[in-house]
Amino acid sequence: MRLTFRSAVTGLVLATLTFAAVQISDAADSPNPPADLKAFQKYFTDKFPKLKLKDFVNGPYSMDAGLYKQWKEKEEFPPYEFALAAGKELFNKPFKNGKTFADCFPNKGIGIRQNYPTFDKKQGKVVTLELAVNQCLENNGEKPFSYTKDEMASVTAYMAFTSRGKPFNIKIPNDPRALAAYENGKRYFYTRRGQLNFSCATCHVQIPGDHIRAEVLAPALGILNAMPIYRSEWAGMGTTSRRFTSCNSQVRAVPLTPQDDEYRDLEYYLSYVSNGLPISGPGARP
């Protein structure tokens, strides 16, 4: 099915997402992340019964035969390859004090992508991998990276690559602040905003696999497993922060500041409900 952007707007602005409504209602009654995860994954596996659970991390490529063929050909010479090389160099480059990123992370930063975002009890907030990278830089007297592309995209691409195949393993500790952050991210995901009155779920829950203009919409399940990504429309790499801000702009809403609390909480929610799906980043998208 191919939707024009105008027809998509007309139909979706008037539609009510039953799934979203149920999720928001449940959130208000009795927060239950494990039940959310089970319902979220069942929704997508029921909607796309021919797909294996692990295939959802391939986004639009798992839903369109033509795109899948293009993707397999592209992976022979992946467009993110340059970022991996740059990211590895940056990751291992000593800071002015002689330390490196390896000194800031468990397991020296290798094979840990699947554990982020995490809730840091000392800071009392969700810490994404991007935020952790910049905190490492600042704690060692270095200038932080831009959250949207360039060095940040390269370093996180390299870190994601070292975790490929490892399943998301996001934890929600027994801390009311962690549960509140999770619920805040969930609320943001299902809340409509902007001139087009879209929520994140409008595109990525209700109509994944369909087209808006030339873009095949990815399912929300597994959507962050491929981050960071190279996008043809960007002609370069972008981070999760860049994807969130660009999505807000596309629905004509005012983007938040990268790594704003709501964006980090949104990433926490989306990552948690994709627990068990493998890391496939860095990825490439049209």
Tens of pLDDT, residue by residue over 243-278, are: 999 999 988 999 999 999 999 999 999 999 999 999
> Per the annotation, does 104 bind a ligand?
yes
211 marked as binding residue:
no
Residues in the chain: 286
pTM of the model: 0.89
Query: What gap in Å lies between CA 93 and CA 35, rounded to an integer?
Result: 43
Residue 113 marked ligand-binding: no
Amino acid at 208: P
259 is catalytic: no
**Residue spans per domain, the chain:** 14-78+171-285, 81-161
CATH topology of domain 14-78+171-285: Cytochrome Bc1 Complex; Chain D, domain 2 (1.10.760)
Do 14-78+171-285 and 81-161 share a fold?
yes
Is the pLDDT at 116 greater than 80, yes or no? yes
Among residues 3, 247, 253, 256, which one is catalytic?
A: 247
Q: What would the mean pLDDT of 27-34 be, rounded to a whole number? A: 76
Could you tell me the fold of the domain covering 81-161? Cytochrome Bc1 Complex; Chain D, domain 2 (1.10.760)
Model pLDDT for residues 129-187, shown as the tens digit of each residue: 999 999 999 999 999 999 999 999 999 999 999 999 999 999 999 999 999 999 999 99
pLDDT by residue (tens digit) across 50-90? 999 999 999 888 887 777 787 788 788 899 999 999 999 99
Report the largest interatomic distance among the alpha carbons of the chain, rounded to a whole angstrom.
58
The response to whether 204 counts as a known ligand-binding position is: yes
